[in-house]
Structure formats: structure tokens, C-alpha cells
Chains A and B, each alone.
Chain A
Amino acid sequence: MVKLKQISVFLENKSGRLSELTRVLGEHNINIRALSIADTEDFGILRLIVNDPEEAWKVLKERGFTVSETRIIAVEIPDVPGGLAKVLEILEAHAINIEYIYAFVSKSQDNAVVVFRVEDIDNAVKILQEKGFHLLNGEEIY
């Protein structure tokens, strides 16, 4: 399974919200593998890849956060100049729209890992795998 679960949380731009969220996850032994925050003047959207998405979804909801689950892919990319550009070229050539990307906190060996949220995820998986890219699966992440 290479279509990974990502947890997204709605956060108001006010102090203490992010630290409370990470504390909740910590208390439940949930480890963050990758994260990104998209923010506007008033609010932010936190996106998380964690080791146990079901549990994270449950505990955050219990604490009153607005949470949603999205499917993303995590692509291993050679950690060399132009590495990311190659993947983007392929997606562009196949007219696959990217909603957003962000990078993993840790590297796997000599590769960087980049998260892609795309419109047509099945097509993206097929094309990238055909081109020989390694997409991380659930076991490698969780």
C-alpha cells in the first residue's frame, strides 16, 4: 500500500495550539514522520504523516480538533541536485496536478523523501513506479 494516510488538522493562528497538538500526540506515543504547515493570516492547516494515523485521528478528534484524512504518496528521490525536478517533470508531462508537496524529516539512506498530494493519485502511482521511482509503503513509514 503506497497510498499513505495523512492527517490534516485545522489550526487557528493563536499561540499554544501547535504545542498542544504535539503534546497530545506525544502522550499517546504517536511519532511524527513528516509535517508541513500551510498558513494564512488567520488559520493554518497542519499536515502530518505519523506512525499510527488511526490512533492520531482518534485522539485529536477527542481533544476537539477538526481533523481530516487524506491520501498522499511519499516518493524517494536521489539526494542530488535536480532530483526533485525529475519527478516534477514526469508529473507535469502527464498533466497530473500537484496540490502541495513537502519533505520528510528523516532521509532513507542516500535518498530524500518527498510527500506529494496530487489530484489523480492512482495515475501518479502508476507513472512514477513505471519510471522506477520507489514509493514508500505503509510498513516503511508506520
Chain B
Amino acid sequence: MIWNLEYESMSRPRLADLQSKRLQEIVAKVHAKVPYYRQKMEEAGIKPEDIRSLDDLVHLPFTTKEDLRENYPFGLFAAPMEEVVRIHASSGTTGKMTVVGYTRNDINIWAQVMARTLACAGGTANDRIQVAYGYGLFTGGLGVHYGAEMMGATVIPISGGNTKRQIQIMKDFAATILACTPSYALYLAEGAAEEGIDPRELPLRAGIFGAEPWSVNMRKEIEEKLGITAIDIYGLSEVIGPGVASECLEQNGLHVFEDHFFVEVVDPETGKQLPPGEKGELVFTTLTKEAFPVIRYRTKDISILYPEPCACGRTMTRMHRILGRTDDMLIIRGINVFPTQIESALLEIGETEPHYMLVVDRQKQLDELEVWVEVSEDLFSDEVRKMEHLESRIKQKIESSLGIGVRVKLVEPKTIPRSEGKAKRVVDRRDIYG
């Protein structure tokens, strides 16, 4: 089923007209309501009237995560706070969060694109949707929740964690669609096996998995172990949350909901817009959001666009599943982690910044982050007690900065490889972009 048949199957020329009209409105709006956007446009010598068609979009300056950080917390909001009904946030590069807001209408749009996402996975009002994404500042849980309710499905808002209970409820409540990170889906499959339950015999038939990149092999594994169709979904809080794009049952690229989110792929080095079929960085412009519109937001996610029609009947452009990142951001259990966050946590420990390395691995389907810290002389004590105290202090600092559990390993000096004077910061042993 296609949730918004009119929009999702709109002819490309009509869609372009709609986008063009909406683009002009949103540009005029941010120019009028958000001083920061106005200033950036003035610096670039652009007036809202200069944007007359979609081709003019390239004249507008990009928006980056740094811009969001500079305007922490509400500086880029285009609606007065009395109209903002919801706040979400995600972690940033230096511990400062990226904060986004929603008006009632934004929440409604978000629910619609999430209902489309669920319909993409074959969902209907008859489904029972187990939302095992985290609820809270993270957009995953509430994003799926509102979409599922709009669709009229039955929501099971269990949130993340407590694997035993997840499996019990999946079985007892006869959940049909699972929403969580792909790695957690595999973890649940293993947990079920340990409980002596074969998930393939449960009513569960589909999953919408996102918030982290995953490989083709991983999809195969999830589908086999859970006996379901695994659908890749994409989104980021800066744009709206989940619901920016979703695979359909063809499982051949993710349809971008272009009537709300204009998508470009640009060369990450030059910023030049690339034609369809070429690999580059995804850039989004929100066309309808009120509280937190973004203009040409650089996602740092790498993908390719395919505008060809899809067998499912949707005309919305498809994007390739995420092929990588342009920066060193890691996604661990759905949470964004920047090496710089760990750096600033470590700076609080010793007098000088210790050398460190992040080792990410997937143990029993769950991401594990190990932080290796070289023990310099100013950190070293010959008492085990003090070294263990050091280890736990580092662990605490990092965990409170990242919001996820880590394992700290103290290592000897010079054991972390250095390349051209700069240490290699990240070793990712997961096969996530494969």
C-alpha cells in the first residue's frame, strides 16, 4: 500500500513544480524569521527573490552541523517557542547537542512520512508495531510511534533494551513489525534463540531498521534469523528524524520523501552538485517544516541518487543505502559518536592529552566501543588501586559525554599506531558499509 498515493506517485514534472513553489516559500521564510540564515544569504549576495526555481538552489549557502552548534540551542528556530510543541536532540562533535524543534504541523508531517515508511514495509492498520527504538531526546522511538498511530496500527512502545522482555512481548502480543537498529534486531534474534524461541515461527513479518548503516550481509542475516522482510530506513534529526527516506518492498534503494525534503548529492570536497548516479554527500533542504527548517544541510552521509521510476509505483527518487561518511563520526548502537568528544573527555583527565584509539567491534550482534588510552608517565602509578581508579574515571568521563557504555583499556605508550605524526583514531571492525 502507498500511504499518500497522490504525493508519493506524483509525476516528476508536477513534483518539481510543487518543490519549486515550496522552496521559494521556505527560503523567504528563513530569510524573514532566522537572522542567521538572513546574514548568510546576505554574505552570499542572495535575496529570496533570486530563488525562482529548483536550479537556483545551488546559489544558497550550505548549512552545517557547526552552524547548528553556533546557534545552540534555539537560534535557528523559525517559529516562536509558543508554537513549538516538541524538542529533540542528538549528540554533537564537542559535547554540545544539536537541538531541533517541531510545531504541531511539523509533528503531523513527521507522522505522515513515518506512516509512509511503515506502508513502504507493507504495514497497515492491522499491524502491531513493536517500537524498540529509544524514546526520549533521540528521534527514533517517538518518530515511529506517531507514524504508527497515524496509520491506525497498534503501537507497542517498549523502547530500547531489556531483551528478554522484548522477546516475551513480541511473542505474547503477536507483534508483526519491529522497529529498531539493525544490530539490535540481530541481537534480539540471538536472544530469542537463547530463550528457546524460534522467531521465524512468530507472527513478526517485517522490520524497519535504521539509525545506523548496515551491510547487505547483515540484511540477509536478519531476514534469515527473524524470518522477516528487513527494510532500510533513513533519517536524521536535523532534517526531521526517521522518515526522510525508506525502502519499499522492492528493497532496491530508499525513496526520499521529496515533497517534504529536497535532496541533492554534492562533491564533499568542492560542494558542487552532482548529477544522479554519482556518488557524493547527501544534502537536504526541508520544504515544509516550520519550527526547524534547514537549507542545504550537509549530512556527511555518502550515497547515490536514482531518479528512475520504481516497480512499486512510487515516483520519489531513490537513494542508495548509506555508503560511508565524509567525517570520522561513528554510529554505535544508533548513537552518533565523534572521536573529538572522547578527546575532550580525556583532556580533563591528565595534564596533557593522552594518545587514544577507538576500537569498535560487534560482539554478539551488539556494538562495543573500546577506548584504548596510552598510559603516559603522568598517569602512571605503581598501585593497582590507583590505576583501576584512573580507568574508571576515564570510563565515567567518556560515558557521561557520549551517553553510551564503553570499555576502557589502558595500553603501553607507542602501542597506538601513528601515521605522519597524527595518531590513527578509529579502528572499526564491523562490516557496516559492505
Are the C-beta atoms of A64 and B414 separated by less than 8 Å?
yes
Task: Output the nearest chain A residue to B408 by Cβ-Cβ distance.
Answer: A42
Does B97 sit at the interface, judged by CB under 8 A? no
Does A96 sit at the interface, judged by CB under 8 A? no
What number of B residues sit within 8 Å (CB to CB) of A? Answer: 18
Are the C-beta atoms of A66 and B380 separated by less than 8 Å?
yes
Task: Output the nearest chain B residue to A61 by Cβ-Cβ distance.
Answer: B377
> Given A42-B410, A43-B410, do A66 and B387 touch, yes or no (CB 8 Å)?
no
Contacts of A42 in B (CB 8 A): 409-410
Min CB gap A82→B, angstroms: 28
Does A49 sit at the interface, judged by CB under 8 A? no
Contact mask B362-400 → A, CB, 8 Å, 1/0? 000000000000011100111111011000000000000
Contact mask A87-123 → B, CB, 8 Å, 1/0? 0000000000001100000000000000001000000
Does B413 sit at the interface, judged by CB under 8 A? yes
> Given A10-B375, A43-B387, A45-B387, do A64 and B413 touch, yes or no (CB 8 Å)?
yes
What number of A residues sit within 8 Å (CB to CB) of B? Answer: 22
> Given A12-B415, A45-B387, do A68 and B409 touch, yes or no (CB 8 Å)?
no
Contacts of B414 in A (CB 8 A): 64
Contacts of B381 in A (CB 8 A): 68
Q: What DSSP secondary structure best describes chain B's contact surface?
A: loop
Task: Output the nearest chain A residue to B381 by Cβ-Cβ distance.
Answer: A68
Min CB gap A132→B, angstroms: 29
Does B426 sit at the interface, judged by CB under 8 A? no
Does A8 sit at the interface, judged by CB under 8 A? yes
Are the C-beta atoms of B380 and A10 separated by less than 8 Å?
yes
* Among A64, A66, A99: residue with most chain B CB under 10 A: A66
Does A73 sit at the interface, judged by CB under 8 A? no
* Among A10, A12, A43: residue with most chain B CB under 10 A: A10
Does B411 sit at the interface, judged by CB under 8 A? yes
Q: Of B383, B387, B412, which is within 8 A of A100 by CB? A: B383
A114 vs B215: C-alpha distance in the bound complex, in angstroms?
59
Task: Output the nearest chain A residue to B414 by Cβ-Cβ distance.
Answer: A64
Min CB gap A41→B, angstroms: 9
A45 vs B382: C-alpha distance in the bound complex, in angstroms?
6
Q: Could you tell me which residues of chain B, from 407 to 423, have a CB within 8 Å of some CB in chain A?
A: 409-415
A67 vs B414: C-alpha distance in the bound complex, in angstroms?
14
Does A38 sit at the interface, judged by CB under 8 A? yes
Min CB gap A71→B, angstroms: 11
A40 vs B408: C-alpha distance in the bound complex, in angstroms?
13
Are the C-beta atoms of A68 and B384 separated by less than 8 Å?
no
Are the C-beta atoms of B412 and A65 separated by less than 8 Å?
yes
Besides A40-B388, A43-B411, A66-B376, 15 new A-B residue pairs in contact (Cβ under 8 A), listed by A number: A10-B380, A10-B412, A12-B412, A40-B387, A43-B387, A45-B382, A45-B384, A45-B387, A47-B382, A64-B413, A66-B380, A68-B381, A99-B383, A99-B385, A117-B382
Please name 21 pairs of A and B residues whose Cβ atoms are closer than 8 Å in the assembled complex, sorted by A: A8-B382, A10-B410, A10-B412, A11-B412, A12-B410, A12-B412, A12-B415, A17-B412, A40-B384, A40-B387, A43-B410, A64-B414, A66-B375, A66-B376, A67-B377, A67-B380, A68-B380, A68-B382, A99-B383, A99-B385, A117-B382
Chain A residues in contact with chain B, CB under 8 A? 6, 8, 10-12, 17, 38-40, 42-43, 45, 47, 64-68, 70, 99-100, 117
Chain B residues in contact with chain A, CB under 8 A? 375-377, 380-385, 387-388, 409-415
